[in-house]
């Protein structure tokens, strides 16, 4: 038995899970929230113990990582830190450089640094945590698991934008996608549940949460995905607009007298469900009031409409469909939203069994037995994909 740590670092949070391998059991998990702010919160959950929580002002990145490792040892979760045989880091942008997860070397760390312009809010922080864990666990291999790796070899017919080709060659202007680790896990798990190789299936996976994306798999290969050069593109999301006419952006910027950077911030943080409803970015809040609040209902209907558009276009690209797979916060728990989406797909033979659809956060086929397209709920597990990649690349599968 070995222990592998999965790290998912953000600007204000550090999420982690410690797995026992190869049995893939979660030993402990935790969150450090409100980093670099007053009232930082450090929490740890274990299957056999009460939740541990401590508050401390202004926990920074280095202290957060140190607190994780110190608690693991002090609480007896590990006897010695050398029991941790690998650390896997979620990295957002791998560009076309990384088509798979990679063991961290000086060269790969330099490349992650250079790719920061494609994810300026994420890659620099994730790079910093790699360096911190290298200092704290100097003899432990570190592995980078890239959100974009799944899409690096996506067919150019879908990866490229219809703009001058030299922009792709000179500046890397193309669709990079996101949520790749989630889509990779869910597609593989769906195939396993269907009892068929992924290479025999045509799948559409729906990662529907605060950020949402749709990905099409043709016999094991990704052929298209909804997010684009950045995660702003694609379907409407909690606070992101999704696809929008770029001329509208410059029009509004001129009318409002704001910089383009401010417009991008509005499209990322003040649009989507929040922008239309003027109430909340959370579908659950909107569902509670949709019968009395027309804007809340409009926001939910628009979200479902944008998802349906992508599903329909991907069915056409795939020339058929074996399974439609829901995952992430809304996909796993949004009973009404799943029904709303699938009700608009009956032409394709896609349907939901009402009773089977009464499920939250559990693996289940929710279509009728005789349906030509299987509809499934498969909870995502990005951390498990991360530790599997660490195991595969550093210790053998």
Buried b or exposed e, range 118-146, using 16+ CB within 10 angstroms: bbeebbebbbebbebbbebbeebbbbbbb
Residue 389 appears among annotated catalytic residues = no
Structure tokens at 56: 């401390």
282 is in an annotated binding site: yes
321 is in an annotated binding site: no
301 is in an annotated binding site: no
211 is in an annotated binding site: yes
Catalytic one among 33, 57, 147, 265?
Answer: 147
Ramachandran region, residue 375 (left: φ > 0; alpha: ψ -120 to 50; beta: rest): beta
Q: Is the peptide bond before 22 cis (omega within 30 degrees of 0)?
A: yes
242 is in an annotated binding site: no
Structure tokens at 97: 């450089």
333 is in an annotated binding site: no
15 is in an annotated binding site: yes
228 is in an annotated binding site: no
382 is in an annotated binding site: yes
Helix (H) or strand (E) holding 27: strand 25-33
90 is in an annotated binding site: yes
45 is in an annotated binding site: no
354 is in an annotated binding site: no
Q: What DSSP designation does 65 have?
A: H
The helix/strand/coil state of 144 is: strand
What separation, in Å, do the N-terminal and C-terminal C-alpha atoms of the chain show?
A: 13
Q: Give the long-range contacts of residues 339-348, CB within 8 A, separation 24 or more.
A: 340/300, 340/301, 340/304, 341/206, 341/304, 341/307, 341/308, 341/311, 342/375, 344/304, 344/305, 344/308, 345/308, 345/311, 345/312, 348/312, 348/315, 348/321, 348/373
Q: Enumerate the known binding-site residues for substrate.
A: 90
Q: Which residues are catalytic?
A: 147
Q: Enumerate the known binding-site residues.
A: 8, 15, 90, 207-211, 282-284, 382
Q: Enumerate the known binding-site residues for ATP.
A: 15, 207-211, 282-284
Q: Enumerate the known binding-site residues for Mg(2+).
A: 8, 382
């Amino acid at each position: 038995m070995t222990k592998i740590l999965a790290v998912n670092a953000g600007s204000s949070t550090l999420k982690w899970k410690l797995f026992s391998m190869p049995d893939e059991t979660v030993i402990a998990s935790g969150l450090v929230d409100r980093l670099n702010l007053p009232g930082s919160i450090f929490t740890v959950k274990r299957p056999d113990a009460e939740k541990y929580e401590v508050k401390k002002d202004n926990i920074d990145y280095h202290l957060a990582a140190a607190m994780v490792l110190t608690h693991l040892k002090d609480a007896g979760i590990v006897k010695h830190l050398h029991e941790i045989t690998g650390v896997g880091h979620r990295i957002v942008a791998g560009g076309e450089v990384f088509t798979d997860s990679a063991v961290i070397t000086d060269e790969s760390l330099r490349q992650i640094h250079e790719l920061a312009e494609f994810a300026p809010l994420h890659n620099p922080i994730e790079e910093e945590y790699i360096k911190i864990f290298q200092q704290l666990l100097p003899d432990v291999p570190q592995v980078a698991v890239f959100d974009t790796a799944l899409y690096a070899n996506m067919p150019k017919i879908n990866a490229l934008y219809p703009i001058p080709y030299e922009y792709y060659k000179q500046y890397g202007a193309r669709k990079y996608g996101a949520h790749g680790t989630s889509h990779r896990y869910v597609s593989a798990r769906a195939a396993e549940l269907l009892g068929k190789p992924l290479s025999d299936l045509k799948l559409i996976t729906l990662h529907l949460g605060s950020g949402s994306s749709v990905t099409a798999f043709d016999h094991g290969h990704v052929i298209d995905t909804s997010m684009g050069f950045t995660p702003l593109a694609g379907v409407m999301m909690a606070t992101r607009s999704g696809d929008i006419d770029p001329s509208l952006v410059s029009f509004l910027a001129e009318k409002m007298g704001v910089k383009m950077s401010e417009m991008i911030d509005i499209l990322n943080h003040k649009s989507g469900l929040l922008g239309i409803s003027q109430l909340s970015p959370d579908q659950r809040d909107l569902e509670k009031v949709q019968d009395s609040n027309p804007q809340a209902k409009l926001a939910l209907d628009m979200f479902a409409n944008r998802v349906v558009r992508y599903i329909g276009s991907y069915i056409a690209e795939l020339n058929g469909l074996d399974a439609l797979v829901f995952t992430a916060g809304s996909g796993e728990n949004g009973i009404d939203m799943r029904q709303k989406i699938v009700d608009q797909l009956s032409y394709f033979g896609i349907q939901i069994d009402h009773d089977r659809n009464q499920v939250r956060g559990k693996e289940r086929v929710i279509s009728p037995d005789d349906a030509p397209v299987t509809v499934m709920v498969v909870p995502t597990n990005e951390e498990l994909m991360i530790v599997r990649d660490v195991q595969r690349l550093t210790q053998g599968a």
